[in-house]
Amino acid sequence: MASIDTRTDAPQPGNEPTRFDVALVGAGLHGGLIALALLDAEPGLRLALVERDARPAGNHTWCFHLGDAPPNAGAWFERLPLIRWPGYEVAFPGFARAIDLPYCCLTSEGLATALQDAFAAHETARLITGCAVQALDAGSVTLADGRRLQASLVIDACGRSDVGRGGYQKFLGLEVELAADSGLARPLLMDACLPQGSQFRFMYVLPLAPRRLLIEDTAFARTADMDMAARRAAIHDYAAARGWVIQSVLREESGVLPMPWRGVPPAPTLPLKVGYGGGWFHPATGYSAPCALRMADLLARHWRAPYTALLCEWRRHRRQFRLGLLLNLLAFRGFAPDLMWHPFARFYRLPLATIGRFYRLQSTAVDVTRLLLGRPPRGFGSAWWRRGKTREVCP
Ligand SMILES: Cc1cc2nc3c(=O)[nH]c(=O)nc-3n(C[C@H](O)[C@H](O)[C@H](O)COP(=O)(O)OP(=O)(O)OC[C@H]3O[C@@H](n4cnc5c(N)ncnc54)[C@H](O)[C@@H]3O)c2cc1C
């Protein structure tokens, strides 16, 4: 059932406007941030944001480096209810490091609240939830209930990508309440001190509050299948091994993200395709928040005639995307799964500025040299060697 807006004075469906300046489809990370940035830049904008679920923003905890935000992002960014940390830690067998790059997370609940507040404050904007878009073109959007919205700019932010072919990052996370404080002051971005096996595995832990953690069991693998029960059990075992007593599980989230080594994002066309669906993500980290923040900033400045700025951004993105493809190829095809943590341990030994730029898809030529040159990490070639021994055929 479609619901229109959250405002008590919202016009009833029969009187709803059908002509907009911008129609945005999908109120996830990209659609949500773009909507906030547009409303901030153009308070009188006639904006429709259409979401098929009953609530905007889905069920995620989106993390990113604070440095991923464009330098002059508007007040909309400052208003985002972020949980912030001064940095994070990584741990591998024989190597651990505190990475002092400010890090933060935005929860779905936080983004949903920001969207509801922003739409409530803008008379000309409509947040339409519980109604899927069935068709869209460069000038209109057709909703499942038969309504047709016309717009000068239509933006597709529906998620799910088929850009690229390769491996997968798959994870299951449990948000848990502990019996006592965790003692963790910063996120543990990658704890690879775990038994490995047929896929590269690590735990990712976010201290959301002194007694509340999000613990994610993550694997980089060739296949997308995931044994959910085994992942849940592994998280409970990991917590017990760290001395954390789980009192209750508050929430669960899971995902399977592409880690391609083939394919590049398609050039922008109309209607604009943003988000994961348009290939606006980091192929080697799975993160798309840096792209979403930049796209929101770009569209807020250029929504009337976005093509030239977008083309320029896409060319830059494509170059960085290719670097990610190459690194995925080397990691997935060059290392046996149980040794795949070696290139990551090597990566986290690099200078902080190189790590930060890599995450936000802004690596410089010097960064690329640092990433690719030097003695190969231990285990390089092990995948080929083992394949030769076992006659495994790679897809
Ligand atoms: C569990 C999880 C955790 C992640 N964590 C991070 C992280 O920490 N940092 C990071 O940078 N990235 C993270 N990612 C990766 C990536 O950033 C997210 O997948 C991000 O949500 C992608 O944004 P998006 O806007 O493209 O898609 P989504 O956020 O999935 O949004 C798409 C929206 O479109 C809606 N929709 C789809 N079809 C229709 C339709 N026909 N009509 C109307 N609405 C429609 C969906 O309901 C959804 O709300 C994570 C991914 C997952 C799955």
Above 60 in pLDDT, residue 13?
Answer: no
Query: Six-digit token pair at 126?
Result: 């409509």
Pocket of ligand 1 (CB under 6 A): 25-31, 50-53, 58, 60, 62-64, 132-133, 157-159, 253, 255, 257, 275-277, 286-289
List, as one string, the DSSP characters of 284-346: TT---HHHHHHHHHHHHHHTTS-HHHHHHHHHHHHHHHHHHHHHHHHHHHHS-GGGTHHHHHH
Please give the DSSP secondary-structure letter assigned to residue 277.
G
Ranges of each domain in the chain = 3-85+103-162+266-312, 165-261
Mutate to test the pocket of ligand 1, among 128, 158, 174, 359 (most ligand atoms within 8 A of CB): 158
Query: Six-digit token pair at 40?
Result: 């901030």
Quick: pLDDT tens for 40-86: 999 999 999 999 999 999 999 999 999 999 998 989 999 999 999 99
Above 80 in pLDDT, residue 4?
Answer: no
Class of 3-85+103-162+266-312 per CATH? alpha beta
Q: For residues 218 and 238, what is the distance between their CA atoms, to the nearest angstrom? A: 13
Residue whose CA lies nearest to ligand 1 atom number 13: 287
Mutate to test the pocket of ligand 1, among 53, 60, 128, 359 (most ligand atoms within 8 A of CB): 60
How far CA 101 is from CA of 98, 174, 266, 323, in Å, comes to 9, 25, 31, 22
Phi-psi category of residue 225: left, alpha or beta, with phi > 0 → left and psi -120 to 50 → alpha: beta
List, as one string, the DSSP characters of 212-228: EEEEEEEEEESS----H
Assign 380 a pLDDT band (cuts: 50, 70, 90).
confident
Above 50 in pLDDT, residue 394?
Answer: no
Residues 220 and 167 sit within 8 Å (Cβ to Cβ) = yes
Name which of 367, 257, 380 is nearest 319 in CA terms: 367
Determine which of 71-75, 95-99, 154-158 has the lowest per-residue pLDDT on average. 71-75
Please give the DSSP secondary-structure letter assigned to residue 197.
-
Residue located via tokens 């502990």:
178
Q: What is the pLDDT of residue 8?
A: 33
Query: Six-digit token pair at 123?
Result: 């008379």
| Helix (H), strand (E) at residue 256 | strand 246-262
Quick: pLDDT tens for 104-155: 999 999 999 999 999 999 999 999 999 999 999 999 999 999 999 999 999 9
- Taking the centre of ligand 1 as the mean of its atom positions, its distance from the CA of residue 381, in whole angstroms, is 35
Quick: pLDDT tens for 181-216: 999 999 999 999 999 888 899 999 999 999 999 999
Mutate to test the pocket of ligand 1, among 276, 291, 299 (most ligand atoms within 8 A of CB): 276
Name which of 50, 46, 52 is nearest 151 in CA terms: 46
Q: For residues 219 and 241, what is the distance between their CA atoms, to the nearest angstrom? A: 19
- Taking the centre of ligand 1 as the mean of its atom positions, its distance from the CA of residue 28, in whole angstroms, is 5
Class of 165-261 per CATH? alpha beta
Q: What is the pLDDT of residue 384?
A: 75
Residue whose CA lies nearest to ligand 1 atom number 30: 159
- Taking the centre of ligand 1 as the mean of its atom positions, its distance from the CA of residue 395, in whole angstroms, is 27
Mutate to test the pocket of ligand 1, among 257, 288, 293, 359 (most ligand atoms within 8 A of CB): 288
Q: For residues 171 and 293, what is the distance between their CA atoms, to the nearest angstrom? A: 23
Q: Quote the strand ranges of 103-237, DSSP E.
A: 103-107, 125-129, 133-136, 140-143, 148-156, 165-178, 188-191, 200-209, 212-221
| Helix (H), strand (E) at residue 89 | strand 88-92
- Taking the centre of ligand 1 as the mean of its atom positions, its distance from the CA of residue 180, in whole angstroms, is 33
Query: Six-digit token pair at 255?
Result: 């995902």
**297 CB contacts (<8 Å, ≥6 apart)?**
37, 70, 72, 73, 74
- Taking the centre of ligand 1 as the mean of its atom positions, its distance from the CA of residue 159, in whole angstroms, is 5
Residue whose CA lies nearest to ligand 1 atom number 38: 158
